[in-house]
Structure 1
Amino acid sequence: MSTQTIPAKAPARLLQERNIWLATNRPDGRPHLTPIWFIWQEDKIFICMKPDSVKARNLAANNAVALSLEDGSDVVICEGTAEYVAPPWSPALMAAFKAKYNWQIDEDKDYGHVMAITPQKWLSWGPA
């Protein structure tokens, strides 16, 4: 199923699952795929990365992304656009990363490049 509306099963999974696969596009068109920690908040997916990472460079050139939860039998895929979120970050976002990963993003000087992904399209199949 493909829709602009989030599938009913997705919000609970986005809150519970620890990793999501992020696909970005290299300047030469080749895809770059990597697992990453994330937070689902305010109908957006927030991710953090090193500012000089391949994914950060890719997103600076082309902000289109695809994300997929890890379960290949109960699929949730999101296509969207990424936007840089400059500090200071909201207390709610920092608390969510702390609660989920025991990680204080405002104290991490390496992975302080925060991106907010706005979903544009959802794909889902498998168990309801």
Structure 2
Amino acid sequence: MGDLSTDPGPALRKRLAAERNVWLCTVRPDGSAHVTPVWFVYRDSRWWIGVDGDSVKAGNVRADPRVSLALEDGRSPVVAEGEVSLLPDGFPPGVLRVFAEKYGWDPTARTRPGVPRVLLSVRVRRWLLRGTAR
């Protein structure tokens, strides 16, 4: 597989359904990287990630929607570059169902009192797969 700007294909979609964690890289206001592992689902040609509304991740993407995502397995790298849309409510029911199936978790459930949850929706601009990163 090479650098793809379209759908990743059935083999990679199957892997994305099975993988538990992805490293999310956002851009801090000073231009430095903020990298953190997160749970995710891949559905409807988008990555979906639930976060606290006041998290560093959420603040970073409000200021700069560019992100990179990297699966944990360095032997068979999968990196996606894209842009985030932040959804503060109206989470798609199909996405919530996939989170429940994959993790037994509701990404809308508050982790701290008074802190709303938001959903990051990442539209992939470019896939960088094994042997294609430049």
TM-score w.r.t. structure 2 length? 0.86
Percent identity, please. 35
Which of 108, 114, 120 does residue 119 from structure 2 map onto? 114
Indicate whether 1:83 and 2:88 are aligned: no
Q: Which residue matches 2:128?
A: 123
Instruction: Measure the CA separation in 2 of the matches of 1:109 and 1:7.
Output: 32
Specify the alignment match of 1:39 in structure 2.
41
CA distance 1:68–1:48, shift in 2 (3 Å): same
More strand by share: 1
Please tell me whether the aligned partners of residues 21 and 37 of structure 2 are also in contact (alpha carbons under 8 angstroms): yes
Q: Which amino acid aligns with 2:124?
A: P
Query: How many residue pairs end up in the alignment?
Result: 125
Aligned-CA RMSD value:
1.5
Tell me, which stretches of 5 or more residues in structure 1 are unaligned?
A: none
Q: Residue 51 of structure 2 contacts residue 107 of structure 2 at CA under 8 Å; is this kept in 1?
A: no
1:54 to 36, 56, 76: 56
With the length of structure 1 as denominator, give the TM-score of the two structures.
0.90
